[in-house]
Amino acid sequence: MKKLILLFVGVAVMMASCKKDDDNNDSSGTTPTPTKTNYVVRIDNRDSSYSKISYSGNNVSKVENFRANNSLDDYFTIEYNNDKISKVLTYDGDGNIGAEYIYKYINSDKPALITYVEDGDTATVLFEYENDHIKSWSYKIPSDNNPDSLIVYDRAVFTWAGDNIEKMEYYELENDILKLMETSYYQYDNKRNPFNGSLFYFAILDEDIAKKVCSKNNVTKIELINANGITDPYNSYNYTLEYNDNDDIIKNIEVDFNNDTIGIETYLYQTW
């Protein structure tokens, strides 16, 4: 499940912050210690490429993706209005602008839609919510027959178990009908996901990124069932996670159901 609007982003969207719990309740009468937060500032990949993450206060402001030879591959910037994402701009390594994502909110801290613009083409992503969780997104593009009319090109529907995505059903337009193409089932550990946070609504559109950022806990297994009801071993994965003393992930090894190692990521944190 890959669409043009997020092929650029890759893995580097996975960098929200991880708050600690040990300062929430202090009944001793003493002045509580200010909350410290661990922020992911760098992600290193198996092929020696890496991503550097910059922040403005507690919000991710810029993500730069570098090749193994340290040359800049691409990057994107994030703008906020009252701590809510208002615009995301993507650039190539030479600084040429690629795509623009404009966020619209309606009486909520959750976006109602995102407008995507690139090379004169425009698309819209609409969000639905249920019980404070995202229920679905729908990706709408201009109709070939009537450019002024938008049609749903694809759609994802989410089933939640608590604060974790348990199942995702992905539909795609085929012969003017939205057809179920794949269903993904997720399993998790019991530790806090340090990537769950501010870029949720930018990541939710891409399966590979969404599995890392959209749930409270960390994914340990994904099984993808194709349209024929058969497990796809090339797109189903087990994850081996390593943690530091604070239970933050410091290493993630991704192995598909064919027992091939797909990716190894390590994470660097800073605290402030």
Domain borders along the chain are 4-18+37-271
The tokens of 31 are what? 């002045």
State yes or no: pLDDT of 237 exceeds 90.
yes
Q: Residues with Cβ < 8 Å from 52, sequence gap 6 or more?
A: 41, 42, 63, 64, 66
State yes or no: pLDDT of 210 exceeds 80.
no
pLDDT of residue 9: 34
Cα dihedral sign, 77-220-39-196? positive
The rounded percent of the chain whose pLDDT value lies above 70 is 81
pLDDT of residue 43: 93
Q: Which CATH architecture has domain 4-18+37-271?
A: Beta Barrel (2.40)
Mean pLDDT of the chain: 84
Of 123 and 70, the one with more pLDDT: 70
State yes or no: pLDDT of 205 exceeds 70.
no
Taking only the tens place, the pLDDT of each residue in 5-21 is 332 333 333 333 334 44
pLDDT of residue 13: 36
pTM (predicted TM-score): 0.83
The tokens of 226 are what? 């194709």
State yes or no: pLDDT of 188 exceeds 80.
yes
pLDDT of residue 200: 57
pLDDT of residue 193: 86
- What SS3 class is residue 176? coil
State yes or no: pLDDT of 31 exceeds 60.
yes
State yes or no: pLDDT of 186 exceeds 90.
yes
What DSSP element (H or E) covers 216? none
Query: Phi, psi at residue 153, to the nearest 5°?
Result: -85, -40
Cα dihedral sign, 213-218-224-225? negative
Q: What is the dihedral of CA 249, 225, 207, 6, to 10 degrees?
A: 140
Band (pLDDT 50/70/90 cuts) for residue 72 is very high
pLDDT of residue 33: 64
